[in-house]
Amino acid sequence: MKKIELDIVALSHSVTQSHNYAVVLGEQEGSRRLPIVIGGFEAQAIAVAMERMTPNRPLTHDLFKNTLETFDIELKEVIINNLLDGIFYARLVCLKDGEEIEIDSRTSDALAMAVRFNCPIYTYEFILDAAGVILEDTEDDDDAIEKKQPTTSSSSSSKRPRRKRAVSSTSGGNTLSSYSVEDLNKMLEEVLGDEDYERAAKIRDEIQRREGKS
């Protein structure tokens, strides 16, 4: 069965399911998008790797990556291989001493690992036919994407991604623009220490915006 390579093109709050997020995958050689609803913790795990943040202590997916590397196991690719009753299923394809090993995984966990290993993400035509959408402009119309989303994302189952922000640029009642870059960097260290990665992403965006203007 022919594999279709995907990129993570967006990560945003889910419109249809409160307290959840949607990760949107796009086929590299086409216009179809595959939206998948995931939980907040899973979205955080993906966002941390996408934003190149370094937590004070390894997160679960970082620990798993370090364990695989310690035992000389390479994550070759991730395959979203099935869709049953609105649930996506995925597999980690690993290499150990030349032998290929497949490990069942929740799709959200598989994507978090793919970002950390910078490995390709694949799916099959029948999954895109069932759950994919075509958008002429992928920057807007999240509602159109989510109309075809399955109700849940996963079960035990290069390009820098673009992340859509769904939170305002405020901190403790003050806008981040009122802080100096030095203060923002100190604040970033503090929130990373508290493992508040959503707030850290906002602060980092403000720092990068300032640096881009300088």
**Domain-terminating residue out of 114, 146, 178:** 146
> Domain range for residue 136?
3-146
Query: Is residue 27 within a helix (H) or strand (E), and if so which, with residue range?
Result: strand 20-27
Q: Are residues 109 and 183 in the same domain?
A: no
**Residue 179: per-residue pLDDT:** 81
Question: CATH code at 9?
Answer: 3.10.690.10
**Residue 210: per-residue pLDDT:** 78
Note whether 204 and 196 are within 8 A (CB).
no
Is position 203 within any domain?
yes
Note whether 37 and 21 are within 8 A (CB).
yes
User: Residue 71 half-sphere exposure, CB side, CA atoms within 13 Å?
Assistant: 10
Q: Are residues 56 and 128 in the same domain?
A: yes
* pLDDT of 191 above 90: no
Is position 159 within any domain?
no
* 164 burial level (CB within 10 Å; 0-12, 13-18, 19+): middle
Q: Is the dihedral of CA 42, 58, 53, 195 positive or negative?
A: positive
Q: Looking at this protein, which amino acid is placed at residue 142?
A: D
* pLDDT of 113 above 90: yes
pLDDT tens digits, 144-159: 444 455 545 555 443 3
The whole-angstrom separation of Cα 208 and Cα 214 is 10
What's the pLDDT band for 167 if we cut at 50, 70, 90?
very low
Selection from 23-27, 39-43, 202-206 with the highest mean pLDDT: 23-27
**Domain-terminating residue out of 146, 162, 192:** 146
**Residue 64: per-residue pLDDT:** 96
Number of folded domains in the chain? 2
Is position 155 within any domain?
no
Is position 19 within any domain?
yes
